[in-house]
Structure 1
Amino acid sequence: MIQLQDNNVDVLIVGAGPAGLMMACQLALHNISFRIIDQKEHSTNYSGALIVQARSLEIFQQMGIAQKAVQQGVIANEIKLVFNGKKSFTIPVKEIGKGLTLFPYLLLLEQSKTEQLLTDFCNHLGHSIERETKLDRFAQDNQGVTSVLKLPDGNEEVVTSKYLIAADGARSTIRKQLQIPFVGKTFSTALFVSDCKAEGDLSPDQLCFSFSDQTTAGIFPLPGDRWRVDGAISKEIENNDPLTFKDISKCFAEKTRMNVEITEPDWFSVFHVNERYAVSFQQNRCFLVGDAAHIHSPVGAQGMNTGLQDSYNLAWKLAMVIQEKSNASLLDTYSTERVVVAKNVVRGTDRAFTFVTSRNFFAKLFRVHVLPFFLQLMLPHIVKRQAVLHFFFRRISEIGVQYRKSSLTQLSSAGHFPTYAPKPGERLPYINYQEDGKMINIQNKVKSGDFHLFIFSKDASVDAIQKIAGKYTQLLFVETIPFTSGTGDLYKRLGIVNNGCYLVRPDQYIAYRSVKPDAGHFETYLQQFIILQ
């Protein structure tokens, strides 16, 4: 029977993986009513998505849980590349992004621990996950979404919500019911992944990648003398049915040509990689996040991190619309901003995965023989070039994600900025400066929930902008940073000569900037892009 209850919430979240949990945490911070359900009995127990990138850690920092994540994980000190068990190269990565972020490294943190951190955060704010609860069906109209849930006892419950979030994974039933195309491909090469014990030529703070004529593999340290091992399955055993950990372990050293033995698996899985993305992340009142919106190969450790940022991007927009601080058109920017990001990630991971797993003769020749020759010549020079290291770090850490083509981004800023200054649509950079004798970072000024208007002034000519901003106190937090000996570098790096302002979104992206204190220009932007008409 259907159990009718007065269950009316602002948002129903379906799926309690990383993206769903991040959505729940962000909505809780914004004081938005929601429910989060998951059909599984419990969260994952395994390493899963293993690397938490710097941009995700910056979000955790805003939430106050970054240090817990770092304490529970392993910071990679080096990346070791081994070719046919003969030549090896070591790349220092502990501070590869130094000066770009508070987290200039790769953090290895099992997905199980990431999910637990987010779950604990959500619980602390008074919310819990409803497990063994399944979305059976739903319907949406102009007023909201009506969902029917299948409860653990077999009964059904009707829930009405203003919005529905599909965080229900790669096989998303919500995406399928909405008939949103999930475009991409499935690779023929099968991969294995395992949490296990590993012994041999390994270091507990080192990521090791092996490229041989017969396979490609990665070995990653976990706490407690355990390792995450994954790789391409060689031709000789790919048709074994079922393929077991024993099949892999028997020939692992032989195929990789490494002095490494793997034993005692806690988890073992075999899968084919999909590279796909939904052509739209929104249909009316329904939104896709995480694996429901895009799936990738594990190369580059982008999937979970991209999903976390989907939810981070959408949550503040939902909150502003629900709280009637903005019109509903603000929600349209979620799909336009994040689909582009997903496409770029899929394109990049597709190329990388093809390169490291292709059995094509010329691909293997380049991967196993030409690449080490190139590294032998160039690596000593590359590791000394900070600009090159920063280029790669910006891409893999996702701090380089930008929304310059978004309708929320005002590109025609009033006045001229130097070319090096951060542009609208880019993440607010990591810049330390002194305030009241203390060293602080400008990113930490941006709190979840409000736009933050930074006004930079060497005189009183920005008073007009301050007066305009005062009309929108329900939306803006206004802060004036005067020019002092402690803020001089901040002014310089932001391209401020005398006066100016930066308007930063709740998700720490620059929406607008101006050198001239043009109050009319600023208010026109607010009324056009942000404020409820």
Structure 2
Amino acid sequence: MNPQILIIGAGPTGLALAYSLARQGVPFRIIDKNAGTGTASRALAVHARILEQYEQLGLAERNIKRGHPILSLDVSDGKRVKATVKFLDFGKGLSPFPFILSLPQDEHEEILVDELSKIGVEVEWNTALLSFEDTGEGVTAVLQQEGQPLEKAEFAYLCGCDGAGSMVRKGLGLEFPGGTYKQLFFVADIETEKPVDDMQKMDMYMDDDGFMLYMSVRNAKTKRILGIVPDELNERTDLQYSDISDYVENKIRVTAAKVNWFSTYRVHNRVSERFAKGRIFILGDAGHLHSPAGGQGMNTGIGDAINLAWKLAAVIQGKGAPRLLRTYEKERIVFARRLIATTDKAFQTIVSQKLRGTLLRQYFVPYVLPSVFNFSFSQKNAFKILSQIHINYRNSPLSKGKAGKIYGGMRLPWIETASGDNFDPLRSVDWQIHIYGKAKPELIDFARSQSLALHEFPWEAQMKDAGFKQDALYLIRPDGHVGLASEKQWLRVLKAYLEAYGIVAFGVE
């Protein structure tokens, strides 16, 4: 088949979009102006919601084996630990992945490129997008591979995953409102002489002199350090790790035997005015930039890709109406704006003078965490926000109804049952019906007639605790979010929902 989608950019967002499309049988091309995957670790944290969606695609296990789980966070003033946050305890029972996965971005990208190669898809490196035009019937793109003549190609859709300086966003004439923080950040990957005792722990340092976050990456001797450059060095343009090494050693007692990578940067908080225009979409950093608080940026970009991929697959394969694609922007831009506001508040709180001094225990738990999560403090809520399992599309046109405590747009709550868990069926990456209790014969017959998978889970008391209503109907989207929740198994309600967007199960030929 001719490729119908052109993906610009082979970072985590573009690669996740490519793999998801490939899994759903959609032909595409993916190009990148660079020669290959990145060589620096950059983003590190992979959160539970992305691991859940990777599990649907068969990618979670390999990523987890390559990285290592972070189970706790210690907060200190450089002298002693003032507070401890235990992610494993917070997330237990909420997700099959109750931790933060530490996985350097370059290794993350290598995994995705290799998995694509296994199914016959190669990234076209050293290939640039020179121009594009949405003709209304498709997209015309002018490409050039290094050393080769210009190529003019036609596609049904174009997806810009080309980073903060996105040519696609600029070519669409979209504004990128927001701001830049005055603080200069540094990030370093260093090797220590001795291995650390606990690779599953992350550390945060805060006192009246500044802020640093540090954790193990790759192996027991390699550490990632992220922090704010001391004020007296803020305007330096040629800063090296050697310029701040004494500062780092004095504050967190970490000595570098070798520096693998060091960089400084200004942090932006921006969201594009649009995520879609006609047949062209922007995803990841092309559409939104965040402060480093919570490690949300890369995860949000991958979430964009998962959201858009199944909708593109449905429309291209004639199993969803074109208007389905309009829900991508409606769902993801709302989340990006909310996240920008939340991470901005967290960042400002962390660097605020109000938090400095020796009273971290008094400030961190009741003040910093609620600011990060925008909630009255609760351990469960903290994990839900940080892990992104709280994401919902309640105001989306695709979200209908409520049954028990579960409403259309919510991520399907994860539960372990006597026979397994309710996420296992999601590996089909297709529409499906869930009944927690017993399905009526007429519903079973209808689902069979539509080749729509129906999964019955015998009722257990814990299901009510998770928010389910016994015998209610839950129609689950390909991305694991609830599309329709109905307290009764009404076929007319289900049919009306499917017909509204021309939805057909991918299994139907």
Question: Do both share a fold (TM > 0.5)?
Answer: yes
Alignment of 1:409-420 (within 5 A): 409-411=399-401, 413=402, 417-418=403-404
The match for 2:492 is 520
1:500 to 1:32, Cα distance in 2 relative to 1, 3 A: same
Tell me, yes or no, if the aligned pair for 1:407 and 1:529 is still in contact at 8 Å. Answer: no
The match for 1:451 is 431
C-alpha distance after superposition, 1:218-243 (max 9, x if no partner): 11111331000111011122223311
Structure 2 residue 13 is the aligned partner of structure 1 residue 19: yes
Alignment of 1:114-513 (within 5 A): 114-198=108-192, 203-224=198-219, 225-254=221-250, 256=251, 258-357=252-351, 363-374=352-363, 388-411=378-401, 413=402, 417-418=403-404, 421-434=405-418, 439-456=419-436, 458=438, 462-473=440-451, 476-481=452-457, 483=458, 487=460, 489-490=462-463, 493-497=466-470, 499-513=471-485
Moved beyond 6 Å, runs of 4+: 199-202, 376-379
1:374 to 1:185, Cα distance in 2 relative to 1, 3 A: closer
SS, match of residue 354 in structure 1:
helix
The alpha carbon displacement at 1:121 in A equals 1.5
**Matched residue pairs, number?**
495
The alpha carbon displacement at 1:251 in A equals 2.6
SS, match of residue 130 in structure 1:
coil
SS, match of residue 131 in structure 1:
coil
- AA paired with 1:527? E
Q: Distance in 2 between matches of 1:193 and 1:226?
A: 13
The alpha carbon displacement at 1:154 in A equals 3.8
Tell me, yes or no, if the aligned pair for 2:13 and 2:301 is still in contact at 8 Å. Answer: yes
Gaps of 5+ in 1: 1-6, 358-362, 380-386
- AA paired with 2:455? E
1:180 to 1:457, Cα distance in 2 relative to 1, 3 A: same
Larger Rg: 1
| RMSD, aligned CA | 2.4
Q: Distance in 1 between matches of 2:441 and 2:366?
A: 58
1:83 to 1:517, Cα distance in 2 relative to 1, 3 A: same
- AA paired with 1:332? R
Structure 2 residue 81 is the aligned partner of structure 1 residue 103: no
Q: Distance in 1 between matches of 2:257 and 2:272?
A: 39
Tell me, yes or no, if the aligned pair for 1:52 and 1:108 is still in contact at 8 Å. Answer: yes
* Farther off after superposition, 38-47 or 324-333: 38-47
- AA paired with 1:398? Q
Q: Distance in 1 between matches of 2:487 and 2:314?
A: 28
The alpha carbon displacement at 1:156 in A equals 1.1
Tell me, yes or no, if the aligned pair for 2:9 and 2:30 is still in contact at 8 Å. Answer: yes
The alpha carbon displacement at 1:516 in A equals 1.8
Q: TM-score, normalised by structure 2?
A: 0.92
1:148 to 1:376, Cα distance in 2 relative to 1, 3 A: closer
The alpha carbon displacement at 1:272 in A equals 0.2
1:516 to 1:189, Cα distance in 2 relative to 1, 3 A: same
Structure 2 residue 88 is the aligned partner of structure 1 residue 91: no
The alpha carbon displacement at 1:78 in A equals 2.4
Q: Distance in 2 between matches of 1:59 and 1:345?
A: 19
Q: Distance in 2 between matches of 1:494 and 1:89?
A: 32
The match for 1:360 is none
Gaps of 5+ in 2: 369-376, 505-509
The alpha carbon displacement at 1:199 in A equals 6.3
The alpha carbon displacement at 1:488 in A equals 5.5
Alignment of 1:2-13 (within 5 A): 8-13=2-7
1:466 to 1:212, Cα distance in 2 relative to 1, 3 A: same
Q: Distance in 2 between matches of 1:519 and 1:168?
A: 43
The alpha carbon displacement at 1:47 in A equals 1.6
C-alpha distance after superposition, 1:282-316 (max 9, x if no partner): 00000011111111111101000000010000000
The alpha carbon displacement at 1:399 in A equals 0.4
The alpha carbon displacement at 1:375 in A equals 5.4
The match for 2:374 is none
SS, match of residue 404 in structure 1:
coil
Q: Distance in 2 between matches of 1:269 and 1:79?
A: 24
Q: Distance in 1 between matches of 2:264 and 2:364?
A: 32
The alpha carbon displacement at 1:253 in A equals 2.7
- AA paired with 2:474? Y
Tell me, yes or no, if the aligned pair for 1:84 and 1:368 is still in contact at 8 Å. Answer: no
- AA paired with 1:262? A
C-alpha distance after superposition, 1:412-440 (max 9, x if no partner): x5xxx43xx32211011111113xxxx31
SS, match of residue 465 in structure 1:
helix
The alpha carbon displacement at 1:55 in A equals 0.5
Q: Distance in 2 between matches of 1:138 and 1:152?
A: 18
C-alpha distance after superposition, 1:203-258 (max 9, x if no partner): 4332111112222111111133100011101112222331111101133234x3x3
SS, match of residue 473 in structure 2:
strand
The match for 1:4 is none
SS, match of residue 182 in structure 1:
coil
Q: Distance in 2 between matches of 1:457 and 1:370?
A: 51
The alpha carbon displacement at 1:14 in A equals 0.4
* Farther off after superposition, 119-128 or 163-172: 119-128
Tell me, yes or no, if the aligned pair for 2:391 and 2:410 is still in contact at 8 Å. Answer: yes
* Farther off after superposition, 326-335 or 258-267: 258-267
Q: Distance in 2 between matches of 1:204 and 1:184?
A: 36
Q: Distance in 1 between matches of 2:86 and 2:430?
A: 38
- AA paired with 1:463? P
The match for 1:384 is none
Alignment of 1:69-84 (within 5 A): 69-83=63-77
- AA paired with 2:425? K
Tell me, yes or no, if the aligned pair for 1:85 and 1:212 is still in contact at 8 Å. Answer: no
C-alpha distance after superposition, 1:334-377 (max 9, x if no partner): 000000110111111111111223xxxxx324333443334599
The alpha carbon displacement at 1:529 in A equals 3.6
* Farther off after superposition, 237-246 or 448-457: 448-457
- AA paired with 2:410? E
The alpha carbon displacement at 1:114 in A equals 1.1
Q: Distance in 2 between matches of 1:125 and 1:455?
A: 34
- AA paired with 2:290? H
Tell me, yes or no, if the aligned pair for 1:84 and 1:213 is still in contact at 8 Å. Answer: no
Tell me, yes or no, if the aligned pair for 1:95 and 1:105 is still in contact at 8 Å. Answer: no
SS, match of residue 100 in structure 1:
coil
